[in-house]
Chain A
């Protein structure tokens, strides 16, 4: 009887496994869609491969939004030739996963060939979005502009600082072209766009990039020194500083040749400074400025120049984050304004200061201005309507 019970239990335990196995081998019906990759990066690379070879020849038109005249035969040709690349870019931008396969353990040696080429793809998408908008095809204009924003979010996710910054720059370009057709949209189209824009992949906090940079850069330096390649590590530090003639660097080279662990100790001392900077850049407006200034002053007074050289200029990057968050909010604010009027502007304030964007009427549309709490690069102004120009 016991043996019988045991057999029953054994068979019961096997059932889920056999079920999974059966599902795995289930033959799909012929009309079902075939599986495709879920990695957007692979499709972006295909799009990059299809960037028309005459791209460089067209730079004058592609870089100047005023030159995008749909009646111009050359503009028509560029539009037609860039269609396959854009079709792929649109598809890639809708996927969740984007893994470029970059080995972050390579630290400063990590090769990032995609970074420069995605910007070309972005320029092409900007050109096409403006072309669509000027032909009166607002759906096409929005699809291409949203593809730019999707790419921007992909680049800013799980990336080191450079990828994050490129993502920010691409988001700025996407917002500038998306702003042109927005006043042409019907209330229903506006609501659909607001929802689509709100569901773009979220942008992780800048602190995540700082901490990833710590593991990637500082981790590489530590491993290189432990491998006995101290000179190589110091060469990279010199390249980061931009000069071989810094007295502290010469002293560090001399000291490291006698005591190999001297550089390792400095690297270890620098690690907590990365953590501190990651905490600082997430502070709210009320406390950020003072605490950041105090920290920078303390760094100058007490930290070794090596630490200052390898730390990121986080205050500069913090401002870039403020601007990209404001650009995200300004799209929602503009849509809300067109649907609800001034009340809509109050619902989507500038995220850093919490103040509503200021409205300025223009000849062909309107502009929204955010003062960003007096940041170094000045206020953010986004123009909505046909006169919109990339900023």
Chain B
């Protein structure tokens, strides 16, 4: 605790508030009349709210995980030179649908044919080597 008092402190303690003069009130009134009108204040407030909303949207956009786009709106480019005949020789929906319309057994036969073509032939040396690796991969 400090009990030290100076003259200045004693003078300050004696100070009392002086009532404001009429001139002061006049000056305050003039200042208030010069301030922005109500409409302008509203515009400022609207601008503030809009800025806040925009900020919220930006933050939401940054945090949000983009939705899963399962399928592109456009498919493959037009087949052009790939004829309907050729489409039937590929694993296409057209080829399968055609066989399924005959019978489901026919469709199964087509799958077997295609699968045989897609797996490497036994006389393929690389495939033979790979099969050894398959054995090494056993857990």
- Give the interface of A toward B (CB within 8 A): 2, 6, 10, 13-14, 17-18, 20-21, 24, 50-57, 80-81, 83-84, 87, 99, 103-113, 115-117, 119-120, 160-162, 165-166, 169, 216-217, 220, 224, 227, 229, 232, 235-236, 238-240, 242, 313, 316, 320
CA distance A182 to B15 in the complex (A): 103
CA distance A71 to B88 in the complex (A): 43
B contact patch SS: helix
Write the B64-90 contact mask toward A (1 if CB under 8 angstroms, else 0): 000000111111101100111101101
Q: Chain A residues near B28 (CB, 8 Å)?
A: none
Contact of B111 among A107, A119, A232 (CB under 8 A): A119
Contact A162 B96 (CB under 8 A): yes
Contact A227 B78 (CB under 8 A): yes
Interface centre among B45, B60, B134 (most CB of A within 10 A): B134
Contact B93 A240 (CB under 8 A): no
Contact B56 A110 (CB under 8 A): no
Q: Chain A residues near B18 (CB, 8 Å)?
A: none
Cβ of A310 to closest chain B Cβ, rounded Å: 10
Cβ of B104 to closest chain A Cβ, rounded Å: 6
Contact A115 B91 (CB under 8 A): yes
Contact B56 A13 (CB under 8 A): yes
Sample of 16 more A-B contacts, CB < 8 Å, known A84-B137, A116-B118: A21-B59, A50-B137, A52-B131, A56-B116, A81-B135, A105-B71, A109-B75, A109-B92, A110-B92, A116-B111, A119-B112, A119-B115, A120-B119, A238-B84, A239-B84, A239-B94
Contact A108 B139 (CB under 8 A): no
Q: Chain A residues near B116 (CB, 8 Å)?
A: 56
Contact A161 B97 (CB under 8 A): yes
Cβ of B22 to closest chain A Cβ, rounded Å: 29
A contact patch SS: helix
Contact B111 A6 (CB under 8 A): no
Whether B27 sits at the interface, judged by CB under 8 Å, is no
CA distance A81 to B138 in the complex (A): 7
Contact A161 B100 (CB under 8 A): yes
- Give the interface of B toward A (CB within 8 A): 45, 48-49, 52, 55-56, 59-60, 62-63, 70-76, 78-79, 82-85, 87-88, 90-94, 96-98, 100-101, 104, 107-108, 110-112, 114-116, 118-122, 127-128, 130-131, 134-135, 137-139
Contact of B76 among A52, A106, A162, A229 (CB under 8 A): A106
Contact A111 B101 (CB under 8 A): no
Closest residue on chain A to residue B73 by CB atoms: A105
CA distance A190 to B62 in the complex (A): 50
A13-B52, A160-B93 are known contacts. Are A56 and B122 too (CB-CB below 8 A)? yes
CA distance A116 to B95 in the complex (A): 12
Q: Which 10 A-B pairs have the closest CB atoms?
A: A108-B94, A105-B75, A235-B84, A106-B75, A239-B84, A116-B114, A116-B111, A116-B115, A110-B93, A17-B59
